[in-house]
Amino acid sequence: MKIRLFNFGWLLIAMSMAISCTSSSKYLERGDYDKAISKSVKTLMKKPDKNDEIRTLKKAFSLANKRDLDRIRQLKLSGQPDIFDNLVDNYSRLISRQDLVERLPNEVLSKIHFKHIDYNSDIVEAKKKAAEYFYARGSKLLETGNKMDARKAYSDFKRVKHYFPAYYQIDSKIDQAEYMGTNNVVFYIQNESRTALPEDFQNEILKVSLKKLNRQWLNFDTWENENVNYDYTIYLSIKEIVTSPDLVKEIHYKEEKTIEDGFEYVLDENGNVKKDTSGNDIKVPAYKVISCNIIETRMNKSARVGGSLDFYDNRDRQLIKTMPVATEFVFAYSTAFAQGDARALKKETKRKIGMKPVPFPTELQMIFDTNEDLKAKVKDIIASNRNILLN
């Protein structure tokens, strides 16, 4: 693997050097005139007396301009109404290219017979015509009342604003196109189970922040707006609500721990106490095992809410997708009573001993407590299926 990475690194370096070492004349031969011009200008800014670069620049500059001017003539002769965007692009290249070359010393400009040409009036006229064309086409598209056409109109109006930010009513046109091109989605909850939902359960679920899922052309509402025509409806259909009985289990166990308990003398093989070099008795720590018996009471209860997310296209009243969704909330609580040496207890066991008894939550409370996880899962499923709501 190291060898491969090493070779790949050298390959990248070699490719980079090959690109940087490509001469302006090579670019010229390939017909890549603007790269040839850029390379020559860079060289001539440092060495304005390099005649081979001057010759390359002169030819590349002439051919590049000729290509763009020929294209402009062809576009104008075509008589097509959508040519002006392309005209702007060609005039922009002519201006940028000319500005680049014009930076060179006068002696170089004289040798390539450079003559400044003013394209400003041409590009301004092309931009005006382009803006008129896109504005008219966008307005026509809006008249169809079709959402896809409205999105195309939005792109056209944005193009107009690109050319002329203060164009007549352009901001209101953009807003109108975005409004008409947006699909509106409303979210509902329906209980199809045989169990009543807790009070405020639905209101709590509807707090799911679907607005954060909004994107261009897609708007979510969790509360129906009478002034909005909804293209899609998403139903959270609750089909199963199950709670377990209150479960209490008592378990008995023992915890042990080895602790230091004073000291003991070190004896030699004859049973006498050993001495250190100073004549003192040698002592070592003594240990003992302590224990504590625990009676732990474990309380457990669970609630499960399941169903499906159903996506409907309101325009033809068709179910377009259904996804299962389920969540479970578990209540688990433990208290403990100890008999013996409390020093043997683990930290977690000590915490349980300090816990006071509590009553089991009600079934309604258990069901209600599933809502946080259910909201998160609903949001994730909708987020991963947003694309089907854009048609």
pLDDT value of residue 139: 97
The 10s digit of each residue's pLDDT in 41-67 is: 999 999 999 999 999 999 999 999 999
Q: Given a cut of 90, is residue 330 above it in pLDDT? A: yes
Tell me the H-state helices in the chain.
2-21, 24-30, 33-46, 51-78, 84-101, 106-111, 120-142, 147-163, 170-181, 201-205, 347-353, 363-368, 371-384
Mean pLDDT of the chain: 91
- How many whole angstroms separate alpha carbon 157 and alpha carbon 179? 13
Q: Given a cut of 60, is residue 259 above it in pLDDT? A: yes
Tell me the H-state helices in 102-181.
106-111, 120-142, 147-163, 170-181
Mean pLDDT of all residues in 153-176: 96
- Quote the tokens at residue 100: 């680049």
The 10s digit of each residue's pLDDT in 103-117 is: 999 999 999 999 999
Using only C-alpha atoms, what is the Rg of the chain?
40
Burial of 58 (0-12, 13-18, 19+ CB in 10 A): middle
Question: Residue 14: pLDDT band by 50, 70, 90 thresholds?
Answer: very low
For residue 219, the cross-strand partners are: 184
The upper half-sphere exposure of residue 120, i.e. CA atoms within 13 Å in the direction of its Cβ, equals 3
Mean pLDDT of all residues in 29-40: 95
* Every domain of the chain and the residues it spans: 24-117, 128-181, 242-254+295-389
Question: Residue 208: pLDDT band by 50, 70, 90 thresholds?
Answer: confident
pLDDT value of residue 15: 47
The 10s digit of each residue's pLDDT in 143-159 is: 999 999 999 999 999 99
Contacts of 240 (CB under 8 A, 6+ apart): 193, 304, 305, 306, 307, 326
For residue 218, the cross-strand partners are: 183, 215
Tell me if 370 sits within 8 A of 328, measured CB to CB: yes
pLDDT value of residue 267: 87
